[in-house]
C-alpha cells in the first residue's frame, strides 16, 4: 500500500485542482509548497500518451518570483551566473541561481516581462526568501513578491495543433524559449514555447483564475479528436530526454559546472554575480565530479534517495534518479561521479534493495 | 480514492523512514522537502492514542539551520523579532523569523547550542536561503548550513516514564523548553523538553543516524507495556490545543502581531532586527485583523484551502484550518478575522462544499 497524501492548506491546491481530481489524478508530489500531479493512469502509460498526443499539465507549482523596481536588473543578475545584461523581453533564459560560493540554489527560467520587472519561474526552493535576503542585505530598491500566476503547460506532439485551434496559427511560428502575449476571450495570456518535456509544447502563465479555467475547458473541448487529457511532468520522459531535476539530480552542494550547466555560466567581465570567483576557479581547474548517465542491468527501479555507486569496491559516486526506459529497454539513471573515475570502461556495481546490480557509464543526454 | 504520494529523492526520506513504513504509515505530508507522516491508523485514532499513551514521532523535517561564526549572534538577532540578547545555552526560544516589513517568514525554535553557534529548528520554509541572503548582503562572517540532524519526538503522557527508562530519572526534572545533553550507548544526544503537542514530551536531536536507529529501537522495546507506537503531529490535538501551524494558520502576508505572537515581539531599544519599525507602528496602532478561534456547527470538516467567512453577507475573514474535535464535540477552526468585526456576537456563515454552515467566534486556545 502506498501512503496517501494528507492534504492541508499548507500544501496549496491550484486553480485546476478540482478539474484534475474530477478526472482522477493517481498520485501527487509536492513542489514549492503546492500540489503537483505525478501520475494519472500510471507513469508508463502517461509516458506513451505524452509521446503521441497532447496533455494539459497543471504546473502551477512553477511559482513566479517577481523582482520589480529600480534595482531589479542588479538584483536579478546578482543571483544568477547567466549573463542577463542583454536579456530581451521576449526570451526565456534558463539561468541557475547561485550563492556566494557558486553553489546552485535553483534552476529557473528567467524572463524580463517589463522594464525593471523580472519573473523567475522557479524549481523547488524558496528563491523568494533568498532574493528578499540579498535585497534587504544590500539595501536594493526592489519589491520581491510571488504574484498569483499559475502556469499551465500544453505538451506533446499534438500541442501545436491544439494551441493553434485556440490561439490561431501564428502561435506555431513562435521559436523555442520565446514568449509573447496571446488573447483568449478578451484576456491576454503570456505564453512561452517551453515546457519540461522533449515532446514540444507551450507554457501559459495563467494570471486570472477564472479566465484560466475557461481556457482549460476550451483546450479540453477543442482537443477531443487529438486525444487531449490531463498530464504532468513524466519521470521516464524527462530522464530519457536528459532533463535535470533540481532536488533530485542537483542540489545545494553542487555547482552548475558539476551539473554540466557550463553554457549558462558566464565569465563576462562586465557582469557581477555572487560566487563568480569560485566558479571561475573551478572552471579553470576543472570539476572533480560531474553528472553523467548510467545504464543499469535491471528491468525496474525506483530511486527514493541517493544510492552509492562502486567501481572495484571503491565508491566513486551516487545514483540520484532513475527509471525503466521503454525506449532503451533498460534502466537509465543520472549520477554524480568522480571525474577521475569516469575515464575507464570498467563496470560499476550498485546495491539496490539488497541485490548487486551491474551498470555502466554513458553520456547525457542518452543516445542509443 | 486518495491520490498516493509519489516518492523521489527530492522528497527526502529520513533515517526512520524504513521503520515507520514497516510499521505501516497511512499518509504522508511534505515539509521542508522531506517526508512527514500524517497518520498511522487514522487521525482520530492516533489522537486518542496520543492523549493516553506515548508515541515516537519522526519529525526529521524540523530541519536545523545552523548559523556559526563571529557574526552569528548579529545575524540570528537580525532575522527574529524575539529578544535573544540574553539567550541562555540551555533554553529553546520560540522566535518568529521576520522580513524587513515585519512579515512572518517562519516560526522556529531557536537554540544557542555553543558560543557563536545557533540552531534554528524551522517550520516549512527555506530559512537557510533567507539567512544566506542576509549574510551575503550584509557581508557577515558566518557559515549558514543544514547539518544532518533529524529530530525524533517522544510525545504523550507516558513519554516521561519511557524517557526515564532510557535516559535515567534525571530527565524528568528538566523544565519545559530547556535542553541538555544526555548519553545513550556512548553517544550524547541533545534533548529538549518540547514538542508540537500539549500532551508533554521531548525532542531528541539525532545527529548520528546509526545511533539514532539504535535509540529508536530501544524506545520501542522499552515502551512495550506503555503502549508505545510510531505517531506524528496530530491535526486534532494541535487545533484543540491552539498550536499554530506555519503555512496553514500563518503565512508570509501576516505579521507576528496579527497571529497573536505579541509575547515574542520585542521592542527593547537595545536590539536591532529587520522590520522592527513596522512592528512598532503596528503595535502602537493596533492590528486590523487577528487569528481567533471558530466553532462550526457541523460534524466533520477538511480544510484544504482558505475558506471565506461572512457576517451579514460581508466577508470578514477566512478559515485557515479546522477539524472535528472529539473533546468539544463540534468542529473547531482557526481563522484570520477583521478586528472591527470581532466585537459582535453575531453569527457567522461559511460555505463548505456547497452547504451554508453556521459558526461563531471564540477565543484561542479553545476552552469549554
Q: What confidence tens digit (pLDDT) does each residue in A259-315 have?
A: 999 999 999 989 999 999 999 999 999 999 999 999 999 999 999 999 999 999 999
Between the CA of residue A235 and those of A138, A249, A290, A306, what are the distances in Å?
40, 12, 21, 16
Q: What is the count of residue pairs from A and B with beta carbons less than 8 Å apart?
A: 181
ipTM value > 0.90: yes
B131 touches chain A (CB under 8 A): yes
Measured between beta carbons, the chain B residues lying within 8 angstroms of A9 are 247-248, 303-306, 320-321
The closest CB to that of A4, out of B2, B139, B306, belongs to B2
- The pLDDT score that the predictor gives to residue B353 is 86
Determine whether B274 is exposed, middle or buried from the number of CB atoms within 10 Å of its CB (0-12, 13-18, 19+).
buried
Measured between beta carbons, the chain A residues lying within 8 angstroms of B28 are 3-6
> Are A77 and A34 contacting, i.e. CB atoms less than 8 angstroms apart?
no
Between the CA of residue A319 and those of A84, A254, A348, B9, B34, what are the distances in Å?
33, 14, 11, 10, 19
- Residue A49: pLDDT band by 50, 70, 90 thresholds? very high
Cell numbers given for B231 = 505517531
Rounded to the nearest 5 percent, the helix, strand and coil shares of chain B are 25, 35, 40
For residue A220, the surrounding DSSP H or E stretch is helix A209-222
> Are A332 and A325 contacting, i.e. CB atoms less than 8 angstroms apart?
yes
B80 touches chain A (CB under 8 A): no
- Residue A343: pLDDT band by 50, 70, 90 thresholds? confident
b vs e for B83-110, b when ≥16 Cβ sit within 10 Å of the residue's Cβ?
bbeebeebbbbbbbbbbbebbbbbbbbb
| Interface subset of B 172-231, CB within 8 angstroms of A | none
Parts of chain B with a pLDDT under 50: none
> Are B102 and B276 contacting, i.e. CB atoms less than 8 angstroms apart?
yes
* Contact flag A28-B6 (C-beta cutoff 8 Å): yes
- The pLDDT score that the predictor gives to residue B367 is 86
* Contact flag A129-B124 (C-beta cutoff 8 Å): no
A339 φ, ψ (degrees, to nearest 5): -60, -40
> Are A72 and A211 contacting, i.e. CB atoms less than 8 angstroms apart?
no
d(CA B301, CA B239): 13
A39 touches chain B (CB under 8 A): yes
Measured between beta carbons, the chain A residues lying within 8 angstroms of B235 are 8
Rounded to the nearest 5 percent, the helix, strand and coil shares of chain A are 25, 35, 40
Q: Give the residue among A350, A349, A339 at the shortest CA–CA distance from A312.
A: A349
Which residues touch B75 (CB under 8 Å, ≥6 apart)?
Answer: B67, B131, B134, B135, B138, B140, B142, B144
* Contact flag B10-A247 (C-beta cutoff 8 Å): yes
Measured between beta carbons, the chain A residues lying within 8 angstroms of B27 are 3-6
Q: Looking at residues A71-81, what average pLDDT do you find? A: 98
* Contact flag A2-B2 (C-beta cutoff 8 Å): no
Report how far apart the first and last C-alpha atoms of chain A are (Å, whole number).
Answer: 36
Between the CA of residue A362 and those of A197, A323, A349, B324, what are the distances in Å?
21, 15, 15, 55
Cell numbers given for B149 = 540532524
Q: Residue A4, Cα to own-chain centre: how many angstroms?
A: 24
Cell numbers given for A2 = 502506498
Tell me the Ramachandran region of residue B44: left when phi exceeds 0, alpha when psi lies from -120 to 50, beta otherwise. alpha
Between the CA of residue B13 and those of A73, B7, B17, what are the distances in Å?
38, 9, 6
A96 pLDDT exceeds 90?
Answer: yes
- Residue A368: pLDDT band by 50, 70, 90 thresholds? low
Residue A187: strand, helix, or coil: strand
B145 touches chain A (CB under 8 A): no
d(CA B315, CA B296): 16
Q: Which residue of B has its CA nearest to A126?
A: B126
Report how far apart the first and last C-alpha atoms of chain B are (Å, whole number).
Answer: 36
B306 touches chain A (CB under 8 A): yes
Q: Give the residue among B25, B43, B44, B50 at the shortest CA–CA distance from B35.
A: B25
d(CA B273, CA B230): 40
A349 touches chain B (CB under 8 A): no
A323 touches chain B (CB under 8 A): no
Q: Which residue of A has its CA nearest to B322?
A: A8
* Contact flag A134-B130 (C-beta cutoff 8 Å): no
Measured between beta carbons, the chain B residues lying within 8 angstroms of A10 are 29, 124, 245-248
Measured between beta carbons, the chain B residues lying within 8 angstroms of A139 are 137
Which residues touch A198 (CB under 8 Å, ≥6 apart)?
Answer: A237, A240, A241, A243
CB atoms near residue A346 (< 10 Å): 11
Measured between beta carbons, the chain B residues lying within 8 angstroms of A319 are none
A23 touches chain B (CB under 8 A): no
d(CA A223, CA B212): 54
d(CA B70, CA B205): 24
B153 φ, ψ (degrees, to nearest 5): -100, 145
B8 touches chain A (CB under 8 A): yes
A74 touches chain B (CB under 8 A): no
Query: Which of the residues B136, B145, B244 would you substitute to probe the A interface, choosing the one with the greatest number of A C-beta atoms within 10 Å?
Result: B136
d(CA B367, CA A22): 39
Q: Looking at residues A195-207, what average pLDDT do you find? A: 98
Amino acid at each position: 500500500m502506498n501512503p496517501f497524501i494528507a492534504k492541508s492548506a499548507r500544501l496549496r491546491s491550484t486553480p485546476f485542482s478540482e478539474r484534475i481530481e474530477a478526472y482522477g489524478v493517481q498520485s501527487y508530489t509536492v513542489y514549492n509548497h503546492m500540489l503537483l500531479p505525478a501520475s494519472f493512469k500510471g507513469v508508463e502509460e502517461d509516458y506513451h500518451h505524452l509521446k503521441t498526443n497532447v496533455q494539459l499539465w497543471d504546473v502551477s507549482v512553477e511559482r513566479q518570483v517577481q523582482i520589480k523596481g529600480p534595482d531589479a536588473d542588479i538584483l536579478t543578475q546578482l543571483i544568477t551566473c547567466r549573463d542577463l545584461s542583454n536579456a530581451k523581453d521576449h526570451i526565456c533564459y534558463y539561468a541557475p541561481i547561485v550563492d556566494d560560493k557558486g553553489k546552485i540554489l535553483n534552476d529557473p527560467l528567467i524572463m524580463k516581462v517589463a522594464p525593471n520587472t523580472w519573473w523567475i519561474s522557479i524549481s523547488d526552493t524558496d528563491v523568494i526568501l533568498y532574493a528578499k535576503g540579498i535585497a534587504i542585505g544590500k539595501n536594493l530598491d526592489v519589491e520581491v513578491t510571488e504574484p498569483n500566476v499559475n502556469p499551465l503547460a500544453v505538451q506533446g506532439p499534438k500541442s501545436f495543433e491544439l494551441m493553434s485551434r485556440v490561439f490561431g496559427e501564428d502561435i506555431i511560428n513562435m521559436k523555442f524559449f520565446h514568449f509573447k502575449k496571446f488573447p483568449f476571450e478578451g484576456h491576454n495570456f503570456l505564453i512561452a514555447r517551453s515546457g519540461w518535456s522533449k515532446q514540444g509544447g507551450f507554457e501559459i502563465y495563467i494570471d486570472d483564475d477564472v479566465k484560466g479555467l475557461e481556457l482549460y475547458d476550451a483546450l479540453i473541448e477543442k482537443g477531443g479528436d487529438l486525444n487531449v487529457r490531463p498530464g504532468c511532468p513524466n519521470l521516464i520522459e524527462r530522464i530519457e530526454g536528459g532533463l535535470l531535476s533540481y532536488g533530485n539530480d542537483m542540489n545545494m552542494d553542487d555547482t552548475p559546472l558539476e551539473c554540466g550547466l557550463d553554457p549558462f555560466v558566464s565569465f563576462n567581465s562586465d557582469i557581477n554575480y555572487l560566487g563568480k570567483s569560485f566558479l571561475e576557479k573551478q572552471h579553470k581547474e576543472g570539476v572533480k565530479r560531474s553528472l553523467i548517465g548510467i545504464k543499469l542491468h535491471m528491468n525496474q527501479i525506483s530511486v527514493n534517495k541517493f544510492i552509492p555507486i562502486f567501481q572495484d569496491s571503491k565508491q566513486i559516486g551516487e545514483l540520484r534518479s532513475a527509471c525503466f526506459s521503454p525506449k532503451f529497454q533498460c534502466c537509465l539513471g543520472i549520477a554524480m561521479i568522480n571525474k577521475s573515475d569516469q575515464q575507464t570502461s570498467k563496470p560499476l556495481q550498485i546495491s539496490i534493495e539488497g541485490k548487486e546490480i551491474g551498470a555502466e557509464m554513458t553520456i547525457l543526454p542518452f543516445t542509443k
